[in-house]
Amino acid sequence: MNSTNAEPAISFTLNPSNGAPIYRQIIQQIEYAILSERMRPGDRLPTIRSLAVELKINSNTIAKAYGELEIRGILTTQVGSGTYVSDKAPLLGEAASAEEGLNRKIREVLGRFIQDMKDLGVDQAELPELIHGYRYEKGESQDV
């Protein structure tokens, strides 16, 4: 485990209307954070209680998500210390590798994003400028 006690910068975004159970959304977001290396082996996750308060959901939902990830070996829990990312990388669906799973998920997210923009009447040619403007407003680095 990492010697740092700082919790990783993971921000959960839940969408109750997307059809996926909330605990599954939490699992997916943890998996994607690991696959994208925003979370690394040894990183500590938020406590069940603190995450439940932050997300305004029942703590049993968080416990179910953490429990499933622990059964799969992706997370480990140390009593009295917390829940941590293990050395085992998640595989998404039938993906042959973590990288393939991440690439598939990126394509899915981009596909939904593009469709959402079409539904809002945004022309695909306008997307780069909209993204650039959004990132500028948020003060994000422009070199990514």
Encode pLDDT of 113-140 as tens digits.
888 888 899 988 998 998 888 888 877 7
Taking 90 as the threshold, does the pLDDT of residue 59 lie above it?
Answer: yes
H/E stretch holding 69 reads: helix 59-71
Taking 80 as the threshold, does the pLDDT of residue 96 lie above it?
Answer: no
pTM > 0.85: no
Taking 60 as the threshold, does the pLDDT of residue 92 lie above it?
Answer: no
H/E stretch holding 109 reads: helix 98-119
User: At a CB cut-off of 8 Å and minimum separation 6, what does 69 contact?
Assistant: 27, 30, 31, 75, 90
CATH class in words for 22-85? mainly alpha
Which single residue is written with the structure tokens 């996926």? 20
Encode pLDDT of 9-28 as tens digits.
588 888 888 788 999 999 98
Confidence (pLDDT) at 67:
95
Sign for the CA dihedral angle at 45, 64, 28, 124 comes to: negative
Which single residue is written with the structure tokens 């981009």? 110
